[in-house]
Amino acid sequence: MIAGLPAVQLKWLEDFLLLAQERSFTRAAELRHVTHPAFGRRIRALEAWAGTPLVERGGGPVRLTPAGQVLLDGAEQMTRNLAQSHEEMQAVAGRQARTVTLATGRTLARTLVADLLVRLRPVLADGELRIVTRTLAEAVGEMQRGEADFSLTYHHPSLVVPLDARQFSHLTLASDRLVPMSRADASGAPLFHFASQGDPVPYVAYARTLALGRLVEDHLANHRAAPRLQRLIECDSPDAHYEYVLKGLGVSWLPWSLVHADVKAGRLAAAGDKRMEIRFDVRLYRPKRRLGAMAETLWMLMSRR
């Protein structure tokens, strides 16, 4: 069935796979960087080609029709076949054994990955580690499609990482926490603090496309003691959040691994108590199939942490 799909419209299948993963037209459209109406037209075009509805429309999360489930299974198999073909071509070219691709987020690339590189440097002398920064969904998707050997992501109950345990393995490399941070005054106290009374605290929010944004929004939505916040800025760059907080523009939840030196130096201070912190793990994922020699060596070294 999939073989009859025009090659130029393979993006429809990518849209459909992401919709099945996210179960939301709005969320899937955001991740594909298109408007909601445009994304909906793509799915309808795919249904026109299939000759039958593929998703059940209505309130609540998107559900696949029986025909949609058949297409999902076929599309996933095709993606795996294409990934395998791509790997075989790389092996013929002699690159697979020397190049490893790691897909991760921008903040993790700056913190945990930087620390790992120091430890892994002797192995890297014999090859190349290609680091690409993506959203969580994009990083996972690249590994599913065989475009990345590893995916380094946040792990938390509120984050869905749609990886089949029969096909993928993982290591927990670190634990961290998101702490609401404020610029510190001359005495080391936070400029902004979550008080039970008073005006709302200016808040620098993450975009919902980021895993950190979903962690914080879920935390605030389900915490009985959530502070009063004035949503002042939304930004999809964690590095920019860090700079905005340093300049005293408001409060943002920042990884402790990123800010602990600034707290020690008296530049930043926590805006709330430990109830406001969000603890999470960092996991490294890989396919269970055998990878190239350099990738297997890197996995072995990281397994010994």
Q: Tell whether 130 is covered by a domain.
A: yes
| Its pTM surpasses 0.95 | no
Same domain, 182 and 262: yes
Q: What is the pLDDT of residues 132-157, one digit of tens each?
A: 999 888 999 999 998 999 999 999 99
Q: What is the per-residue DSSP string for 204-221? A: EEEPTTSHHHHHHHHHHH
Tokens at 39, concatenated: 């994304």
Residue 106 belongs to what domain range?
Answer: 97-174+281-303
- Residue 214 counted as domain residue: yes
Identify whether the C-beta of residue 35 lies closer than 8 Å to the C-beta of residue 176: no
On whether residue 22 sits in a domain, the answer given is yes
pLDDT digits (tens, 9 = 90+) for 187-243: 999 999 997 567 899 999 998 888 999 999 999 999 888 899 999 999 988 899 999
- How many folded domains does the chain comprise? 3
Q: What is the pLDDT of residue 3?
A: 53
State whether 16 and 140 are in the same domain: no
**Residue 181 and residue 274 in one domain:** yes
- Alpha helices, DSSP H, located in the chain: 10-22, 25-31, 36-50, 66-93, 106-110, 112-124, 136-144, 211-222, 238-246, 256-264, 293-303
Q: For position 14, what pLDDT does the model report? A: 85
Q: What length is written for the chain?
A: 305
- Whichever domain contains 78, its CATH number is 1.10.10.10
Q: Which of 55, 90, 125 is the last residue of a domain?
A: 90
Q: What is the pLDDT of residues 242-298, one digit of tens each?
A: 999 999 999 999 999 999 999 999 999 999 999 999 999 999 999 999 998 889 989
One domain, residues 164 and 298: yes
- Assigned domain for 128 exists: yes
In a domain, 2, yes or no: no
123 within domain boundaries: yes
Domain check: are 76 and 168 in the same one? no
Q: How far is CA 55 from the centre of its chain?
A: 25
125 pLDDT tier (thresholds 50, 70, 90): confident
Residues 109 and 198 in one domain: no
